[in-house]
């Protein structure tokens, strides 16, 4: 029996260097938001839960993704203060199962492949 796998997607950053009012994860590449690329890749894996950590522009991120992925269920966790990557993961702890494994991804890294994630998942088997 394998442990449950949760995917945590960090999508709270502002992206100040982009000089845009739009949250970084909603910037588009090849017709889709950066976050949509990551979610599409994750949807090719078998996972028990997908947690999205939102912060800057959180309502906009939540609205766009919820409207686009009507058949998907996400756990949304707010990072009210952007205090770094470790803090972003920490705010998800109460939403994670008591046992299992987590795969942490950045919501602004759209080119990670399903093959890479599947290899990571396979390399981290129980036993």
pLDDT given at position 100: 87
Is the pLDDT at 2 greater than 80? The verdict is no
Q: DSSP for 31-57?
A: TEEHHHHHHHHHTTS--SEEEEEE-TT
Provide the percentage of residues in the chain whose pLDDT is more than 70: 95
Check if 74 is active-site.
Answer: no
Q: What is the pLDDT of residues 39-97, one digit of tens each?
A: 999 999 989 999 999 998 999 999 999 999 998 999 999 999 989 999 999 999 999 98
pTM of the full structure: 0.92
Torsion of CA 100, 101, 105, 111, to 10 degrees: -120
Is the pLDDT at 19 greater than 80? The verdict is no
**Exposed (0-12), middle (13-18) or buried (19+): which is 15, by Cβ within 10 Å?**
middle
Residues 1, 16, 17, 123: which is the catalytic one?
17
Which one is the CATH code of 8-105: 3.40.50.2000, 3.90.550.10, 3.40.1160.10, 3.40.50.300?
3.90.550.10
């Amino acid at each position: 029996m394998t442990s449950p796998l949760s995917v945590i997607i960090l999508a709270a950053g502002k992206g100040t260097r982009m000089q845009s009012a739009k949250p970084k994860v909603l910037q588009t590449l090849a017709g889709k938001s950066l976050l949509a690329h990551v979610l599409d890749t994750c949807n090719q894996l078998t996972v028990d839960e997908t947690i999205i950590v939102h912060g800057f522009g959180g309502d906009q991120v939540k609205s766009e993704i919820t409207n686009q992925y009507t058949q998907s269920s996400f756990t949304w966790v707010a990072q009210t203060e952007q205090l770094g990557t470790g803090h972003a993961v920490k705010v998800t702890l109460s939403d994670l199962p008591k046992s299992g494994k987590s795969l942490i991804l950045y919501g602004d890294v759209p080119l990670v492949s399903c093959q890479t994630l599947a290899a990571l998942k396979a390399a981290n088997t129980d036993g």
